[in-house]
Structure 1
Amino acid sequence: MIYANQRFVAVGTGGTILVSPNGATWNSQTSGTDKELLGITYGNGRYVAVGRSGTVLTSSDGTIWNSQNSGTDNDLEGIAFANGRFLAVGGRGTILISSDGTTWSPRPSNTLVTLESVTFGRNRWLAVGGGGVVLTSPDGTTWSSLNSGTTKYLTNLTFAANLFVIVGENGTILTSPDGSSLIAQSSGVGDWLEGVNFANGQFVVVGRSGIILTSP
C-alpha cells in the first residue's frame, strides 16, 4: 500500500486494487489482471504496481490502470521510485529499471536469489532478498553485494530518519546509517518479520503471528 497524490492505493491477490481518500472508505478498481500484485509506488505523476509473472500496471489517477510489458516472466516482488527512475526487483535476481514506468530494461544483479524489496537513501539503492543477500548500487544500473552477516531470508527494508532498516526471517533486523555497513539488532522475537515503515517519529515493524514492533 502507498499514500500518494492525496489517496491511499492498496494492491493484493487476484489483481486486487483498492483506492481510498481517507483510509476508511475503499473502492475497488479494475486492474485487468488476476495476477497477485505485490508492490506499488508513485513517481513522475503515476502509480506503478508490480506482481506475479512480471506483471506491471500503471495509472495516473489510481482508478484507470494499463498493463505494461516488463520483459520478464519472473515474479516482481517490490518496487521503488527515486532520482527520476523506477526500480523493480523480483525472482531469480531480477532487477528492472524505468524512467516512466512503461519501458523497462533489465540490469544484472549477479545473483539468482529472489529479491524482495528495494529502497533508496544516502545516494544509493539497496535491495534485499533470500539467503541474507543485500545489494547496493549508486545508480540502479551497476550492483554489488554487501556482507549482511546473515543467511536469513530478508523480506523488506526502508530508509528514513537517516537510517536503513532491514527485516526478515526469525526476527532478523539489520540497520545501517550509510548503506555500506550493516549492524544486527535484537528484535526479541523469533517469528518472520515481513514489513517495516516509518511514521510519527518511529519505525514500525510487523510480522507473522500478529507481531508489531516499534522503535524511536
Structure 2
Amino acid sequence: MHLRPRLLIAVFTALFLFVGRASAQDLWQPRTSGVTVPLWGVAYAAGQWVAVGEQGTILTSPDGATWTPRASGFPARWLVGVGYGTPGGSGLWVVVGGSGLILPSPDAITWAAPRPARPRL
C-alpha cells in the first residue's frame, strides 16, 4: 500500500477560510469564519486551528469548519501571525501583532500580554 504524503494547508481571505488537505484529487471547501475583518495569519497544531486578524481578532476551531471568537484583550490592534511551539516540553501558542505586541497562550483560548518585569531599585 502506497501512502502519498498530504500537506495540511489553510488559505485565508477577508471573509472566508479555505481549509483542507492538499493532494491532486482533493477539493477545497470554503468555510465562513463568522467575522468581517481581514484575517492575516492561521496555524494548525495540537488538534487546533487558530486564525488571527485585524481589530484583535482571534478565532479557534477544532475542525476548520466551525470557528469560535476568542478575546485578545487588544481590539484596536492588528494581529498578523500565529504559531505553536513546545518550549521546555510544554505547548505554547504565540500571536504577534502591531507595535511589537506578543500574546502567549497555553490553550489558544485565554490570551494575555506578558507583564514587563519591574526594575529592582
Give the counterpart of 1:86 among 49, 55, 58.
49
Cα 1:115–1:84 change in 2 (3 A) is same
**1:59 and 1:119 mapped to 2: Cα distance?**
18
Assess, with a 3 A threshold, how the Cα gap between structure 1 residues 147 and 132 changes in structure 2: closer, same or farther: farther
Which SS does the other structure have where 2:113 is aligned? Answer: strand
The CA deviation string for residues 86-113 of structure 1, in whole angstroms up to 9 with x for no partner, is: 0000010100000111110000000020
Q: 2:12 aligns with which of 26, 50, 62?
A: 50
Q: Give deviations 1:141-196, integer Å, cap 9, x for gaps.
A: 00000368xxxxxxxxxxxxxxxxxxxxxxxxxxxxxxxxxxxxxxxxxxxxxxxx
Q: Which runs of 5 or more structure 2 residues have no equivalent in the other structure?
A: 117-121
- Taking the aligned partners of 1:120 and 1:61, their CA distance within structure 2 comes to 21
SS, match of residue 59 in structure 2? strand
2:84 alignment partner in structure 1: 120
In the alignment, the residues of structure 1 paired with residue 102 and residue 115 of structure 2 have an alpha-carbon distance, to the nearest angstrom, of 7
Matches of 1:51 and 1:110 in 2, distance apart? 23
Amino acid at match of 1:99: P
Unpaired segments of 5 or more residues in structure 1? 8-41, 149-216
Which structure has more relative contact order (CA 8 Å, sep 6+)? It is 2
Equivalent position of 1:68 in the other structure: 31
- Structure 2 length normalisation: TM-score? 0.78
Residues 65 and 6 of structure 1: CA distance in aligned 2, closer, same or farther (over 3 Å): closer
Aligned pairs for 1:91-170 within 5 A: 91-112=54-75, 113-121=77-85, 122=87, 123-146=91-114
What secondary structure, in the 3-state scheme, does the structure 2 residue paired with 1:145 have?
coil
Secondary structure (helix, strand or coil) at the match of 2:99 reads helix
Shift of 1:132: 1.2
3-state SS in 2 of match to 1:92:
coil
- Give the C-alpha shift of residue 6 in structure 1: 5.0
Give the RMSD, CA atoms, in angstroms.
1.8
CA distance in 1, matches of 2:55, 2:82: 15
Identity of aligned residues (%): 35
Moved over 6 A (4+): none
Q: How far is 1:55 from its partner? A: 1.9
Give the partner amino acid of 1:92. Q
* Structure-to-structure mapping, 1:1-40, within 5 angstroms: 5=5
Higher strand share: 1
Query: Contact between 2:6 and 2:22, CA under 8 Å: does it hold in 1?
Result: no
One-letter code of the match for 1:115?
L
